[in-house]
Amino acid sequence: MSGYLSIRNLTVRLKGGAMILRDVSLTVRAGQVHGLVGESGAGKSMIGKAVLGTLPRALEVVSGQIILDGTDLQTLDPKERRRRIGASAALIPQDPLTALNPSKRIGPQITRRLVDILGWPKIAAEARALELLEEVHIPDPARVMRSYPHELSGGMRQRILIASAFAAEPKLIIADEPTTALDVTVQKQILRLISEMQSRHDTALLFVTHDLGVVSKVCDTLSVLYAGKVVEEANMHRFFMRPIHPYSAALLAATPTYTDPTGSLTPVPQTVIDGVEREVAEHDMRAAP
């Protein structure tokens, strides 16, 4: 199996301590959206950080390959690795307020990447930024370029971060809970926009979320994580029709839906947790030297 991003048996741990990711493998192809779901602490965001080379300093990649466009990133020297990642991948972060510099105007925040990292002339970068703001349906883009982040709404700021992520035409985008901080009505617009941009630019998208509802709207395939281990990898439609792993089924059963008023909410049963914990322990036994 090949794809634009291919992660093979990635194991990450706290230096000299706990396992964070256990033997994670997944593939994201150009034009496809792959969801990473799981509860908090399952390691969803860490996969994205490992790919982008932004893992916290306390963590280390123990083994495995991260293959971006045919090249194993682990085999490159750090400088070349950063250059590769910078040229071909980008991030849409969760919180549109903290991701933008409050003391700088929007324009330079979008063009910086193009000018500083990719060496575009300033004028070309500004023209590109204007074009992008129009593409993400921002009214009066010239004015927004001169605005500061606090002058814009949360939805508007998230549109800017999306424009910014697509600025250098990356082949891979990692979206880390990009709509968690937004109202549902704004979330809907932003999810539509991400899907629209992703299919127009034929980007491979790794979509981190805790919300199975969101997964069913944007993803083609997904991985369910528990304690840093992929417990199920699935085609999206198959997953919602017929989840295979008991933990996946339990997560679905615990998710409330307003269309189903009668059924009671079922927390993930202890037997399921015990079962998946046992799988994790067995994995660690096998992995131990």
Partner 1 sequence: MMYEVRDLRLSFPDMAHKPLIGAAPRLEVLKGLSFDVPKGAVLGIVGGSGSGKSTLGRAMLRLLEPTGGTISFDGTDITHMGEDQLRGMRKRFQMIFQDPMSSLNPRRRVGGIIAGPLRLQGLDGLTGRVDEALDMVGLPRGFAQRYPHELSGGQRQRVGIARAIALRPDFILADEIVSGLDVSSQAQVLNLLGELVRDLGLTLAFISHDLSVIRRLCDRVLVLHHGEVVEEGATAALFDAPQAAYTRELLGAIPLPDPHQTWG
Contact residues toward partner 1 (CB under 8 A) are: 39-40, 154, 183-185, 187-188, 191, 210-217, 236-237, 240, 250-252, 254-259, 261, 264-268
* Separation of alpha carbons 263 and 235, rounded Å: 26
CB 135 within 8 A of CB 143: no
CB of 214 to partner 1, least distance (A): 5
CB of 259 to partner 1, least distance (A): 6
**Helix or strand (DSSP H, E) at 150:** none
Q: In terms of CB distance, is 88 or 221 closer to partner 1?
A: 221
Q: In terms of CB distance, is 86 or 154 closer to partner 1?
A: 154
Q: In terms of CB distance, is 69 or 220 closer to partner 1?
A: 220
CB of 212 to partner 1, least distance (A): 4
Q: In terms of CB distance, is 75 or 271 closer to partner 1?
A: 271
CB of 271 to partner 1, least distance (A): 13
Question: Token pair 């944007």 is at which residue?
Answer: 218
Q: How many CB atoms lie within 10 A of CB 156?
A: 18
Q: In terms of CB distance, is 6 or 179 closer to partner 1?
A: 179
* Separation of alpha carbons 222 and 33, rounded Å: 8
Residue 27, helix vs strand vs coil: strand
* Separation of alpha carbons 223 and 207, rounded Å: 10
Cβ contacts of 281 within 8 Å, gap of 6 or more: none
Q: In terms of CB distance, is 18 or 265 closer to partner 1?
A: 265
CB of 141 to partner 1, least distance (A): 25
CB of 70 to partner 1, least distance (A): 32
Centroid of chain to Cα 17: 25
CB of 218 to partner 1, least distance (A): 9
Q: In terms of CB distance, is 151 or 169 closer to partner 1?
A: 151
Question: Token pair 């003391």 is at which residue?
Answer: 103
| Type of residue numbered 124 | A
Residue 132, helix vs strand vs coil: helix
Cβ contacts of 192 within 8 Å, gap of 6 or more: none
Task: Tell me the three-class secondary structure of 162-184, residue by residue.
Answer: HHHHHCCCCCEEEEECCCCCCCH
